[in-house]
Chains A and B, each alone.
Chain A
Amino acid sequence: MSTTVVLLSTRRLPPAFFDTVREDLGDPEVTLAVISWVAAPADLDAGKVSTFTIIGPRGAGEPEAVAPRPEPTGTTPPAATVAGRNRGARKVAEGMLPKAIKTGLKFLRSHRADKELGKAFWDRVLSHRDALSTIGTADVVIALDAGAIWAGWNLGRRKASTPVVLGIPAARRELDMLKVPAGHG
């Protein structure tokens, strides 16, 4: 029976990823299912993955509505103006900071963004029946990026018997171990 690997991703996966991932996992027959925050690559060959579940805000055939740009009225909403000015002032102020502090701020922002994305991703997994049922079939779950770690960690706590790993090399090790007959460890 073929092994099922579920990939958790919050980033756009390049089409080339699906050309090599089976080889990198060491199993050309592996069944791949993707749970993604963003849409599949436009030219993804349907035969390369068994399912591609989109759980992000623009997912599952529900593209986020893009609001039409309002006609200029001559008056600018005050809140937007203040926020815009603040952003500009903040940028200027940051430009004057020492490099170490700028790097630190950048790191903290990216950390906060990952954290928020991670929580949102996990909330969507929990509320998405298709995603949960796909995960239920997994032999190995792979978190492909930082945003997918929180969901992966929670899945590991819910069902400790299914390996949940970060990255492809670790997944390959898990898959190799699955191939070893019991009692030969």
Chain B
Amino acid sequence: MTDRRPHLLYVAWGFPPCRGGGVYRALATTNRFAALGWKVTVLTAERETFQRFTGVDPTLEARIDPSVEVVRVPFEWPVLEADLRKWSRTRASNPKLWSKWRTRQDQIPFPETGYGPWRSVVEQAAERIHAADPVDLTLATANPHVTFTAAYRLHKKHGVPYVMDYRDAWLLDVFTGDRLHEPNSRAARWERKLVESAHEVWFVNDPIKGWHERLYPAQAGRMHTVANGFDADLVPDTHDRGAVTDRPLVFGYVGTVSTKVPLAEFVEGWALATSRSEELAGARAKIHGYLGFYAQPRADMLDTINTAAEAGVSYEGPVGKGEIATAYDDFDVQLLMLGKGRCVTSGKVFEYLATGLPIVSVHDPENAASDVLRGHPLWFPVSEVTPEAIAAALIEAAHAARTADEDIRAKAREFGASYRRDLQLDPRIERLAAAVKGARA
């Protein structure tokens, strides 16, 4: 019997077992398409690629819907080859010159450092997949942006519509808001061509979408925000824990403390808040995760935390995946400490939302995380990132943790539940299914 399910070709460089932030979006997207009745083929890199370059999480592969077919193609990354036995004499005797030359060579097929040569590999693989079982829709996720070329190829040669899914942005620096490539650069010309032919273009938040709408006003109607969300089976328990009346409160942070996180301001704000509010008597602020990007905690950050040790601030060290739920179980209030970035939405915000616990936003009010949290009944943002404003938000949150009634707590959980990842995807998948069905008819 012929398989009448619409056929989605999903093109992603990073896919399980690859370990990395974007992988969860890729995994959730393909699984959701499969759950909603699509035949899904994933075109991605070989497992060895991830073993060598990104690290792997073998448990992720088991989470792929069994009906999803994964086609793996080779990926070479010579510049990152660290095994000196595989280097040529020319490279070994001129390593810097060779790297410069190779980086330029790699960009000849496609203007993206390191990934350019993958263009012909994914284009040919997409052709093979389409020849074996015609593809109704291609969804390519970036970065790397070279994945878009496979979608473009099927569109140009066979009229297959495609969706561009940006987890980040190509021409825009999402941290600074600056432009990364000149308007007439090859990257800009490629993007213009791709966006003009795309059926839809997805972004993870409204500020990034808005920037692209202004850049491509004629295509603005095809642009959509498909926010990230939490994966229901990966988040902490969401049961109602009740108001805290009989013990000191525990505030908690989980994640990497980068240099952009306003840690010093928080520590000062904490000291002020605990000295001013009875509701914070004996309260603790537990910081879980990495201090800096290396295994060894940064000494300056550790010192900053230790200055407020007597006020109850403590560094608890990194927390493994298996222990995350336990860490959250300990919290009464969550601390969302983020760096500045109008276009940056941290994945952590969705994990926090899932718990339904009060959230204190210790970040610039302009941060894109504010757009996600606006409307949360137990959200306590700072008006500015200063110790005074942070103290005020902490005191308000402490009060809420001690007094919020069952109704408000239920509303907070309900608000968080709307950010389940599949709920973000469903409206778009339904529209795409209708478009594909229309095209088939």
Q: Which residues of A contact B (CB under 8 A)?
A: 16, 19-20, 23-24, 107, 110-111, 114-115, 118, 143, 146, 149-150, 152-157, 160, 163-167, 169-170, 173
Which single member of A115, A150, A163, A169 contacts B85 (CB below 8 Å)? A163
Q: How many of B's residues come within 8 Å of A, CB to CB?
A: 17
Residues of B within 8 A of A149 (CB): 84, 92, 95
Task: Let me know if A111 and B84 touch, CB within 8 A.
Answer: no
Contacts of B93 in A (CB 8 A): 115, 118, 150
**Cβ–Cβ contact B296 & A19, under 8 A:** yes
Does residue B96 face the partner (Cβ distance < 8 Å to A)?
yes
By a CB distance below 8 angstroms, the chain B residues around A114 are 95-96
The complex places the Cα of A156 from the Cα of B91 at a distance, in Å, of: 14
18 contacts between A and B (CB under 8 A): A16-B296, A20-B294, A20-B295, A20-B296, A23-B295, A23-B296, A24-B295, A111-B97, A114-B96, A146-B96, A149-B95, A150-B93, A153-B92, A156-B85, A157-B85, A160-B85, A164-B85, A170-B83
A110 adjacent to B295 (CB under 8 Å): no
Interface of A: prevailing SS: helix
Name the distance in Å between B413's Cβ and chain A's nearest Cβ. 39
Bound Cα distance from A111 to B96, whole angstroms: 7
Cβ-defined contact, B296 with A111, below 8 A: no
Give the docked Cα–Cα distance between A110 and B96 (Å): 9
Q: Is the interface of B mostly helix, strand, loop or mixed?
A: helix
B87 surroundings in chain A (CB, below 8 A):
153
Q: Does any Cβ of A come within 8 Å of B176's Cβ?
A: no
In the bound complex, CA of A166 to CA of B80 (Å): 10
- Cα distance A19–B294 when bound, in Å? 13
What separation, in Å, do the CA atoms of A114 and B52 have in the docked complex?
Answer: 27
Within 8 A of A (CB), among B51-92: 51-52, 82-85, 87, 89, 92
Q: Is B94 an interface residue (CB 8 A)?
A: yes
CA–CA, A170 and B82, complex, Å: 6
Q: Which residues of A contact B51 (CB under 8 A)?
A: 173
Interface of B toward A, CB cutoff 8 Å: 51-52, 82-85, 87, 89, 92-97, 294-296
Bound CA–CA A173/B52 (angstroms) = 7
CB <8 Å contact, B295 and A163 = no
Whole-angstrom distance between the alpha carbons of A114 and B92 in the complex?
A: 11
| Known A19-B296, A20-B296; contact A163-B83, beta-carbon cutoff 8 A | yes
Closest B residue to A153 by CB, please name it.
Answer: B92
Q: Given A24-B295, A165-B82, A165-B83, 7 more contacts at CB 8 Å?
A: A146-B95, A146-B96, A153-B84, A164-B85, A166-B82, A167-B82, A170-B82
Give the residues in chain A near B52, CB-CB below 8 Å: 173
Q: Which 3 A-B pairs give the minimum distances between C-beta atoms?
A: A170-B82, A153-B92, A156-B85
Bound-state Cα–Cα, A38 to B145, Å: 44
